[in-house]
Amino acid sequence: MTTIPRCSAWRIPPSRAANSSLGNRRRLAQKWGGMIELENLTKRYGDATPVVRDVSLRVDDGEFLVLIGESGSGKTTTLNMINRLAEPTGGRVLIDGADVRSGDPVTLRRQIGFVFQEIGLFPHMTVGENIAVTPRLLGWPEDGIAARVRELLSLVQLGSTDIANRLPAQLSGGQRQRVGVARALAARPKIMLMDEPFGALDALIRDELAADYRAIHDKLGLTTILVTHDMTEAFLLADRIAVMREGVLLQIATPKELAAAPANNFVRRMIEIPRRRAEKLAATMQNA
């Protein structure tokens, strides 16, 4: 297999041989690791300009990648193509070398954790029942499901109350988002996809939950792709940051590399936002 560089300025050679469909199906039926490859990924609706254009990148097993860009940059569409909530017009997504389109999309989604900004908890189910949804669909035994619910509530720091028996409407916004993270982790996925998961929370709760998730990512050895429009959040959480604009991947780099050598003026303006915030905060604290 061709070694894929960790940068945005490359294209998959046309001669690269595809894996056999049978081999892909066998691997997709098993628990895979966490390496994700996007090869010349494109999404177009009808005859309109593509919303994602020829995006290629690799996310290593255990890496935390943040996709960032303005509204309409294509970052959420890119995320959705990884677990086939959206189907690509061109290119492909590989997980551990297997094309995700070679298997059943429902089976695929049950093996990848997904956290939405809106959370999407079932309002008529208790917290425990929400977390148990995917393990139950996978046929886990009830005692195993109950143990997993207890384990996850403790992991997301909700284990010290009777919260498992509450309905989502009885929780705060931060608690509901923690339950959303627990539900996404329920079937022990290696990959977590997160679409603006902290965007609707108050600043204090948002920072706390983001830090807690980064600790969970490290503890469990997850591969995480998180979408955000907040560069400060990206700098604090990411191993690498991928900057998108108008469907194009402009640059992918570590926070340190991005700050030291932005690819163009757009990237430079984006990384100036947290810098200006830090300078204003320092000046305010000094004058207080």
Which tens digit of pLDDT belongs to each residue from 155-195?
Answer: 999 986 689 999 999 999 889 999 999 999 999 999 999 99
Strands (E) across the chain are located at 36-43, 52-59, 64-69, 90-95, 98-99, 112-116, 191-195, 223-228, 240-245, 248-253
**Which of 3.20.20.70, 3.40.50.300, 3.40.50.720, 3.40.50.620 is the CATH number of 25-111+189-287?**
3.40.50.300
Residues with Cβ within 8 Å of residue 16, at least 6 apart in sequence? 2
Mean pLDDT of 80-105: 95
pLDDT surpassing 80 at residue 86: yes
pLDDT at 23 over 90: no
The pairing of beta strand 240-245 with beta strand 64-69? parallel
What does the pLDDT read at residue 20?
37
Q: In this predicted structure, which of 129-133, 156-160, 174-178, 256-260 has the lowest mean pLDDT?
A: 156-160
The pLDDT of residue 279 is 79
pLDDT of residue 17: 35
Confidence of residue 31 (pLDDT cuts 50, 70, 90): low
Mean of the per-residue pLDDT values of the chain: 86
**106-119 mean pLDDT:** 88
Mean per-residue pLDDT, 273-288: 77
pLDDT tens by residue, 188-232? 999 999 999 887 677 778 888 999 999 999 999 999 999 999 999
CA atoms within 13 A on the CB side of 138: 20
Tell me, what's the pLDDT at 37? 97
- Across the beta sheet with 36-43, the strand order is 52-59, 36-43, 90-95, 98-99
pLDDT at 33: 62
What are the structure tokens assigned to 36, written together? 């994700």
Q: Which of 245, 193, 197, 259 is nearest to 53 (CA)?
A: 245
Of the listed ranges 186-190, 247-251, 277-281, the one predicted with least confidence: 277-281
pTM: 0.84
3-state secondary structure of 266: helix
CB 106: neighbour CB atoms within 10 A?
9
What is the percent of the chain with per-residue pLDDT over 70, rounded to a whole number? 87
Range of weakest confidence among 30-34, 108-112, 225-229, 257-261: 30-34
Model pLDDT, residue 13: 34
φ, ψ dihedrals at 192, nearest 5°: -125, 130
pLDDT above 80 for 135: yes
In this predicted structure, the answer to whether residue 18 has a pLDDT above a threshold of 50 is no
Cα–Cα distance, 141 to 212 (Å, whole number): 29
3-state secondary structure of 181: helix
Tokens in use for 237? 């959480």
Q: Tell me the helix, strand and coil percentages in the chain, rounded to 5.
A: 40, 20, 40
pLDDT > 50? residue 26: no
